[in-house]
A = this chain, B = another copy of it.
């Protein structure tokens, strides 16, 4: 059975057993049965209880094995120490889904983690999947199955809301009614012993009742699969990642026992997974609502129609802050808009039809905007006035939109005012027009719709193709040698050999073990030269006086050789000295850094930044999860604040970003193909030259995984 079919049994069940169904009012085992009945679940409900003949009027069974028909999912409400026994019976019964509400597993420590592992093993032994443990349950509007202890199914709609936190899920469930937030499902993931975010994305990507997947994430478990699932979903995904502060991460870790991962790596991974970020709970719901109800915004031109200058300016400010700045409406379109407003209105954008304009102004301006080729997305803003009725305006807005027949441009509405505005907003939302009480939120929603279109245009595949002219065998041989030597830090010449095997321009170099040999190598390599100590015990070569630059002749080589050796011995008398490295001295260029880490969630991940203070002081760096194409590497460069330096400042030429992008991609290939061996790499500095002149890797560092 494919993973998708497995998930279907879980999220569109036809029969549900409740393990630990109870006659005791208020108990979870009783609540789940009651919830299934009250939510109107049309399939079979099987309470499992060894003592009671029936629960809430439904025949109960002593064991799941006694159930006459098939059981799609079993909801576990029994204490942790009983779960495994019940699970074994479910496995015999070939139950497809184990919804394990019970807590007391990996979140409480090592013993619980063991129990959890066994639970998954039992389920998988007969093709079952586990959601949880330590969850609220699953709330499925399409199946009318409230298989949880949350009080009711959520307000119906087109967003699947997946939450790692159960408490948050219950409270959001109730909030859906206040906010008129439409959910197709709500799923509590808890400890994610088996089913995780990626599984849910896979399923809801194919669910015709779901237009948007909304995630509350504390930490993902298999980062690479998360990226793959997100990327291939083809549906908007929004996520609120919690634990992004130092203190918050600590709290998250104690909360679910999952590692938080670096914030910057999550930033990168979300981009690669085509996941839109939300900065807080409101934005998660606001953006999800827009993405569920409206089409992506395929161009960049937002038109704002308003009856108030103030909220228009606020919308304009917010648009810029969200990266979708307003542009002035073209002259011919301005002429059209002018017909919809009094003389003192403004047709430039925001299109200010003024406070007196009323219903007709809105209807006319909306028609003009939606019919214009220039307009890609529309925000209709309204300030409640003493002379207009919010309800009438809302009706007019709906009428005008319907009359144009335009369906491929996103529209959001923002009414600022009192109870009448809230009532009007409910109508708009019900008609599929996302409603907000604040222009900032409306622009946040439109920017998410724009981002969805950008992700859509990027397509499912990063066009990464591994370079063929690499020599993995040589790289592995170098690493094996260092391993044999008992080291997990490669020397600079070793690291450069590995880099060279992957086609990185490390320049000519040789390691001399005598002064005469150094002179000989110097002639081969050519002047000017750099000479450096090579010793596994001397990592900070400069500090040890182990580096001499700009050596121009034989006398210089001999002097440097002596000095470096003497310095090194003075620095660390016990250091094992492999020799002295001679390398051609790269001309000065702009210093950049490309490094990699092995992220606990996402695996090999490549960092890029400018050298020196840019990395050290400004932390001006950006990441991508490896491997990726040079095209993706090109996308990284504009993300650093100092990008203009790569573009050329003060009349300098643009730097060779194309050459750099190839190198960054190759490093991503290297750290991926050797991810079993390599923990961290640093190509630092890389001298980057003007366009067409390439680059040179001046220093290299590779740290191996501890084995």
Contact = CB atoms under 8 A, between A and B. Distances in A.
A308 B574 CA distance: 55
Contacts of A310: 163-165, 167-168, 216, 218, 242, 255
A309 B422 contact: no
A348 B254 contact: yes
Contacts of A418: 171, 173-178
16 contacts: A108-B344, A150-B386, A170-B383, A172-B416, A174-B417, A174-B420, A175-B418, A245-B317, A250-B348, A254-B309, A255-B313, A281-B314, A281-B440, A613-B649, A617-B645, A618-B618
Nearest to A318: B280
Interface string A386-417: 11000000000000000000000000000011
Q: Kindly list the 10 A-B residue pairs having the minimum CB-CB distance in the complex, ordered from nearest.
A: A174-B418, A165-B310, A167-B308, A245-B320, A248-B316, A255-B309, A280-B440, A168-B310, A248-B317, A171-B383
Given A150-B386, A251-B350, A616-B650, A167 B344 contact: no
Interface in A622-659: 641-642, 644-645, 649-650
B167 A311 contact: yes
Contacts of A256: 309
A149 interface: yes
B617 A251 contact: no
B384 A438 contact: no
A168 B163 CA distance: 37
Interface string A425-441: 00000000000011111
A151 interface: yes
Interface string A143-168: 00000011100000000000111111
Kindly name the residue among A279, A328, A438 whose own CB sees the greatest number of chain B CB atoms within 10 A: A438
Kindly name the residue among A318, A420, A642 whose own CB sees the greatest number of chain B CB atoms within 10 A: A318
Given A242-B313, A281-B416, 13 more contacts: A165-B311, A167-B309, A178-B418, A178-B421, A216-B310, A218-B313, A240-B314, A244-B317, A251-B309, A280-B440, A282-B441, A613-B645, A613-B649
A244 to B, nearest CB: 5
Kindly name the residue among A167, A243, A246, A613 whose own CB sees the greatest number of chain B CB atoms within 10 A: A167
A574 to B, nearest CB: 25
A244 B150 CA distance: 44
A245 B304 CA distance: 15
B319 A245 contact: yes
A251 to B, nearest CB: 5
Given A254-B348, A440-B281, A311 B175 contact: no
Contacts of A149: 386
- The count of identical subunits is 2
Contacts of A349: 247
Given A151-B386, A218-B313, A167 B280 contact: no
A618 B245 CA distance: 25
Given A172-B416, A281-B416, A355 B438 contact: no
Interface of A: 26, 31, 107-108, 149-151, 163-168, 170-178, 216, 218, 240, 242-248, 250-252, 254-256, 279-282, 307-314, 316-321, 325-328, 344, 346, 348-350, 352, 355, 383-387, 416-422, 437-441, 613, 616-618, 641-642, 644-645, 649-650
Contacts of A282: 437-438, 440-441
B439 A281 contact: yes
Kindly name the residue among A314, A318, A325 whose own CB sees the greatest number of chain B CB atoms within 10 A: A314
A149 B388 CA distance: 13
Nearest to A387: B26
Contacts of A312: 251, 255
A572 B635 CA distance: 44
B168 A311 contact: yes
A251 B347 CA distance: 11
A250 B587 CA distance: 47
A642 B641 CA distance: 12
Kindly name the residue among A168, A320, A418, A440 whose own CB sees the greatest number of chain B CB atoms within 10 A: A418
Kindly name the residue among A163, A216, A244 whose own CB sees the greatest number of chain B CB atoms within 10 A: A244
A421 B173 CA distance: 12
A313 B280 CA distance: 11
A383 B136 CA distance: 13
Contact of A438 (B242, B250, B281, B326): B281
A246 to B, nearest CB: 7
A480 B437 CA distance: 57
Given A165-B308, A309-B251, A320 B171 contact: no
A247 B280 contact: no
Nearest to A260: B313
B348 A251 contact: yes
A213 to B, nearest CB: 18
Contact of A171 (B176, B328, B417): B417
Contacts of A150: 386
A260 to B, nearest CB: 9
Contacts of A616: 649-650
A456 B273 CA distance: 47
Given A216-B310, A280-B438, A313-B252, A325 B171 contact: no
A383 B163 CA distance: 14
Contact of A245 (B163, B252, B316): B316
Kindly name the residue among A163, A218, A240, A383 whose own CB sees the greatest number of chain B CB atoms within 10 A: A383
A87 to B, nearest CB: 23
A298 to B, nearest CB: 21
Contacts of A247: 316, 319-320, 325-328, 349
Contacts of A166: 355
B355 A617 contact: no
A417 B175 contact: yes
B386 A245 contact: no
Contacts of A168: 308, 310-311, 383, 416
A27 to B, nearest CB: 11
Contact of A174 (B165, B167, B421): B421
A313 B440 contact: no
Nearest to A218: B313
A346 B254 CA distance: 8
A638 to B, nearest CB: 13
Nearest to A618: B641
Nearest to A444: B280
A312 B240 CA distance: 14
